[in-house]
């Protein structure tokens, strides 16, 4: 029976998690405004900040967790270290794309705005308030819903941390779901899920949706040479988020080289040098030195936290690398299975709903709320109930792997849906009219028009989904409840959790280094090539 005290606990945990997410997102917005504007207006900052952000965007959030854990949990001891460990993971989940959004908005600001502000002697702070901030608002708001969903996923994932014989908790829905599962109070877990869904819906309808509508008044309308307004097709905030994110990642390799070359280039035309003046040069040099010093300090602290020693002790060991590659193969196989299931379920659903646009806003709202539900709160329940139920028929290992596939699927399959759905509703009416004129059947239209049109967006969603699948593997491959450990036999994420559970932070760091390197290679060697090819072959101008 659900007591009033337990209900109050559930409400308090929900409020704590949502307050934590809200506070960290607010801090992320402030950070993005500072570094985004700085990168857009100061050349040295652009070279450093954008190059770093491009690379960090390509790395899944879960790969930062051991770094965050080792630094904050053991450098800042006690409950404060645990809280900061959980909170800081949210920053790594949302801040990079917010920085890029602000940078892109301010960087494309017409030079006329700057010139007018100088003529009227508008100070820097006033330029931020009256020019830079308003133009950055649409990009910031476009990131709110996907960033909110990512933050909810990773905060519930990090609210319970097991290291050796110690469990570290912060108050929230993730830790409460874990405690309720250990107590066997499944009815209370269902109530918790219901309250979380209500909280997500209220957040969407009372905060996020009004913000999206309000941000439209800040949108700039570009005018063509003949004085006509240029119409831009809108594919929705979430789709816009992934399209822009992938565009940045797809060009990040070239951007890193170009930015570094630009920073190191010895000379500019004489006229340009004259215009810049001594003060501007001084700002460039000062900002560059400060940013490089901060990055150097961060690398130094990370090395001190054990990453250098982990590299020497474990990463250079042939036995460690051979085991890591075997575990990687198992996880890549799981991701391949989940990705195939996501394609066969989400793509047809997105095409079907995309072609029935009468209730487009309702469909998008429902899907946004559903994909924001943090899957980690279900994991303890699934492991305790589902695995024992399936084990007599399939065997323990197969039952546990089924649970892993199920959690991984629900952790990121919606990314594919949103991107494909956005591509379907964005197909120009002229193309549809041609299809009707040619009297194409429904299947012929899907094969000849719809499928080619969705391929670039499908690749965009695929990269976002595959990157997030690692998070699903991380929360589902290893879990210890009531003294019993549920763990798959092989898996990279399971090996990280095993090392953490054994208190071996050096091995955790070494596996993390291996995983980051592999994921970056896969991102730039596979997805980027596919995206560039699809853009050239299937993109159309509307």
Is 391 a member of any domain?
yes
CA distance 106 to 108: 6
Is 263 a member of any domain?
no
Residue 210 has pLDDT above 70, yes or no: yes
Query: Given pLDDT bands bounded at 50, 70 and 90, which one contains residue 62?
Result: low
Q: Provide the 3-class DSSP secondary structure of residue 170.
A: coil
Is 265 a member of any domain?
no
Taking only the tens place, the pLDDT of each residue in 67-114 is 676 677 667 777 787 788 778 877 887 887 788 778 878 887 777 776
CA distance 474 to 334: 12
Taking only the tens place, the pLDDT of each residue in 361-396 is 677 777 778 878 888 888 887 888 888 889 898 888
Mean pLDDT check: name the lowest of 121-125, 487-491, 503-507: 121-125
- Better pLDDT: 249 or 104: 104
Q: Average of pLDDT values for 28-44?
A: 86
Q: Which two structure tokens, joined as six digits, stand for 527?
A: 């997805």
Amino acid 267: pLDDT? 47
CA distance 409 to 375: 10
Q: What angle do CA 516, 306, 320 make, to 5 degrees?
A: 55
CA distance 361 to 447: 26
Is 29 a member of any domain?
yes
Amino acid 278: pLDDT? 58
CB 57 within 8 A of CB 467: no
Residue 248 has pLDDT above 90, yes or no: no
Tell me phi and psi for residue 338, to 5 degrees. Answer: -65, -40
Is 382 a member of any domain?
yes
Is 203 a member of any domain?
yes
Is 409 a member of any domain?
yes
Taking only the tens place, the pLDDT of each residue in 318-344 is 888 899 999 999 999 999 999 999 999
CB 24 within 8 A of CB 124: no
Question: What range defines the domain where residue 375 resides?
Answer: 4-221+234-258+272-538
Exposure string (b/e) for 50-67, b if CB count within 10 Å is 16 or more? bbbbbbbbbbbbbbbbbb
Number of domains in the chain: 1
CA distance 292 to 295: 5
Amino acid 224: pLDDT? 44
Taking only the tens place, the pLDDT of each residue in 111-151 is 777 667 776 677 777 777 778 888 888 878 877 777 788 78
Q: Provide the 3-class DSSP secondary structure of residue 358.
A: helix
CA distance 82 to 163: 11
Q: For a pLDDT cut of 70, what percent of the chain falls above it? A: 76
Query: Given pLDDT bands bounded at 50, 70 and 90, which one contains residue 406?
Result: very high
Residue 255 has pLDDT above 80, yes or no: no
Q: How far is CA 401 from CA 118, 334, 382, 486, 496, in A?
A: 62, 8, 12, 11, 17
| Residue 266 CA, distance from chain mean position | 37
CATH at residue 9: 1.10.3720.10
Amino acid 222: pLDDT? 47
Tell the burial category of 277 from Cβ atoms under 10 Å away from its Cβ (0-12, 13-18, 19+): exposed
Q: How far is CA 231 from CA 223, 224, 432, in A?
A: 9, 10, 19
Query: Given pLDDT bands bounded at 50, 70 and 90, which one contains residue 174?
Result: confident
Query: Given pLDDT bands bounded at 50, 70 and 90, which one contains residue 497?
Result: confident
Rg (CA), the chain: 24
Is 211 a member of any domain?
yes
Q: In which element (H, E) is residue 480 found?
A: strand 478-481
Amino acid 272: pLDDT? 46
Q: Which residues contact 333 (CB under 8 A, 6 or more apart)?
A: none
Q: Provide the 3-class DSSP secondary structure of residue 162.
A: strand
The Cβ of residue 464 has, within 10 Å, a number of other Cβ atoms equal to 25
């Amino acid at each position: 029976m659900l007591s009033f005290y337990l209900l109050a606990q559930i409400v308090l945990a929900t409020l704590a998690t949502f307050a934590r997410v809200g506070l960290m997102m607010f801090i992320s917005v402030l950070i993005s405004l500072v570094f985004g504007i700085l990168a857009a207006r100061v050349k040295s900052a652009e070279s450093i900040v954008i190059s770093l952000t491009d690379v960090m965007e390509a790395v899944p959030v879960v790969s930062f967790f051991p770094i965050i854990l080792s630094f904050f949990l053991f450098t800042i001891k006690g409950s404060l270290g645990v809280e900061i460990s959980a909170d800081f993971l949210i920053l790594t989940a949302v801040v990079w794309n917010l920085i890029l959004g602000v940078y892109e908005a301010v960087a494309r600001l017409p030079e006329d705005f700057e010139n007018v502000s100088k003529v009227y002697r508008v100070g820097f702070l006033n330029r931020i308030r009256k020019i830079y901030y308003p133009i950055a608002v649409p990009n910031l708001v476009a990131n709110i819903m996907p960033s909110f969903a990512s933050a909810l996923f990773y905060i519930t994932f990090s609210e319970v941390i097991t290291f050796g014989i110690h469990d570290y908790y912060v108050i929230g829905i993730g830790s409460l779901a874990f405690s309720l599962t250990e107590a066997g109070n499944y009815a209370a877990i269902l109530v918790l899920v219901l309250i979380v869904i209500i909280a997500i819906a209220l957040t969407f309808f009372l905060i996020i949706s009004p913000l999206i509508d309000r941000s439209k008044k800040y949108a700039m309308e570009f005018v063509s040479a003949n004085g006509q307004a240029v119409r831009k097709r809108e594919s929705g905030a979430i789709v816009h988020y992934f399209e822009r994110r992938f565009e940045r990642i797809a060009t990040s390799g070239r951007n890193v080289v170009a930015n570094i070359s630009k920073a190191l280039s010895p000379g500019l035309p004489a006229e340009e040098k004259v215009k810049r003046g001594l003060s501007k040069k001084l700002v460039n040099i000062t900002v560059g030195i400060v940013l490089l010093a901060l990055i150097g300090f961060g690398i130094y602290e990370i090395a001190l936290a054990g990453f250098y020693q982990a590299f020497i002790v474990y990463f250079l060991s042939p036995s460690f690398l051979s085991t890591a590659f075997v575990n990687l193969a198992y996880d890549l196989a799981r991701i391949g299975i989940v990705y195939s299931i996501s394609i066969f379920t989400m793509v047809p659903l997105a095409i079907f709903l995309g072609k029935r646009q009468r209730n487009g806003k309702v469909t998008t709202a429902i899907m946004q709320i559903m994909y924001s539900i943090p899957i980690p709160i279900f994991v303890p329940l699934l492991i305790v109930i589902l695995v024992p139920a399936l084990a007599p028929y399939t065997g323990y290992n197969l039952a546990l792997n089924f649970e892993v596939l199920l959690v991984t699927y629900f952790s990121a399959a919606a990314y594919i849906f949103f991107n494909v759905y956005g591509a379907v509703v964005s197909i120009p009416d002229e193309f549809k009219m041609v299809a009707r004129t040619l009297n194409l059947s429904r299947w012929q239209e899907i094969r000849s028009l719809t499928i080619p049109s969705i391929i670039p967006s499908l690749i965009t969603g695929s990269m976002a989904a595959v990157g997030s699948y690692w998070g699903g593997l991380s929360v589902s491959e290893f879990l210890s409840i009531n003294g019993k450990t549920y763990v798959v036999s092989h898996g990279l994420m399971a090996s990280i959790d095993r090392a953490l559970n054994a208190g071996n932070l050096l091995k955790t760091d070494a596996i993390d280094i291996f995983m980051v390197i592999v994921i970056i290679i896969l991102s730039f060697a596979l997805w980027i090539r596919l995206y560039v090819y699809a853009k050239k072959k299937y993109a159309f101008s509307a």
